[in-house]
Structure 1
Amino acid sequence: MTPDPSADNENASRSPGSRFREARAAQGLSVEAAAARLKIPVAVVEAIERDDYSALGAAIYVRGHCTAYARLLGLAPDIVDDACRQSRSAPPPLVAMAPSTRLQRLTDRLARRAVYVVLTGAIVLPVIWYATQEAPEIARVNLSPLDVPPGGQAPLTDIAALIPDGESAPARQRGEADHPVVASLAPFYAKPAAADESAADAPTEVAPDWLVLSFNGPSWVEIFAADGTRLEQALLGPGSERRYAPGQVARITLGNAEAVEVRQAGRKVDFSAYRRANVARFTVSSDGTLAPVGG
């Protein structure tokens, strides 16, 4: 069969997009149906049929989409070449860059090195200066605690003795006006001064009806009088003992109740009913009877 030259001339006069559109309409396909068969967006099919190949991207995408569309519609391969020729755009103009001179390259290199030298000096020089400075001399101060009475014989502590130079300034006399003291940071339950504790633990004559607390181990104790005055609040060690006259004590709290023995009028008192988690809290009436706090 001899090809019809008039048909070829007619196809050449029409754009590839119109030929795609007429072939699709002749087969009764809608744009959506053609896009679904090609598995491409509808916008791509519409761009091909209106010869808007710039919307398809690079030339490789134009050729791929047009080849698949022509194969679907049974069109000749020459329509793909026509579409690709129309999609070609002028290449972007080349802009000649002025070549840098040797002097300019040398200037840039020196500028980078100068910045490096400045940053290095800003970091290293302060460190060298600080390392070369002499350490300040540590003042030698004699200290004494506040909890030692002015007339006591507690020795002074010389801070300079802690400096490993083998020298120590002689301790100043306690009577000097410029002698500094240090406040004690001991907790509120610290043991009382040695003089007070020795006086409290000193053996005294015990009346038959007195309340006696004997400590077999360390225990925190808090004791209040009938008028709400705190008689004692301290951490007592094993071997300690406290004695109170009838009516002198109203409320007692023992932190380690298992380590404390309570005697009233010479008899051991069972206060286990007032103990919770090894902490006992109870009140003492004027006749020596124990009762729970708040009861």
Structure 2
Amino acid sequence: MSIGNSPEDDRPSIGRVLQQARIAAGLTVEEVSSSTRVRIPIVHAIEDDDFSRCGGDVYARGHIRTVARAVGIDPEPLVQQYDAEHGGRPVPTPAAPLFEAERIRSEPRRPNWTAAMVAAIVAVVGFVGFTLFSGEDEGTSTAHVAEGSSPDKATAKPTPTKPADPKPVPSESAIAAAPLDKVTVKLSATQGKSWISAKDHSGQTLFDGLLLQGQSKTFQDEERVDLVLGNAGSIELFVNGKKVEDQFESGQVERLSYTKGDPEAG
């Protein structure tokens, strides 16, 4: 009795699927390379199911996703097929403690109403004592008052101590200083979604996945953080508490590296 091939053995290869989708979309390899920033030889190699030129599994997954979106197909089944054929996705290493500057805010000082009330009571008691004392002396000092004039009676009211004005709450744009002994990188997807990969100085993966619009990720390491941005134009980047002003284009793939101090792309 013969055993037939499983359905998975009969499915087309990753490169074949991407090539057929590109042809169906009416695109050339040069046009796909131009829109994804993946070099022409690498696009040819991927369509031939040769992923050795991608530079590793992380980059291979990123190229598969980028090319698949460029030719108009869903990349996730192809990435899952790649993981099944190449030993699976590595378990990501937990990221270093996140540095979330937005949570570090000084609390506004509240008015000390108890101290104000005590001061007011002391002022009232002193005023009453002064009035009684002045009343006792008034009988003996009447003869010394000039004719036609009358002594002014104290009518001053106690003034309560004004509570201290609360300190203003820091604005939303205020960002606490990043620690000088570490490198801190914050990514925010402000213009759309983007696939990102982050590694520490030893090459361990901190994150490898999709960052949706409106989401943020913060990474921290003792020496260096390496990044790969699949759609760099959608990312707002802060390094060591300072915004990076590089003008990345939509769909652009960027490989960056940052260390301690002023942001400096590697």
Fold similarity call, TM over 0.5: no
**Larger relative contact order (CA 8 Å, sep ≥ 6):** 2
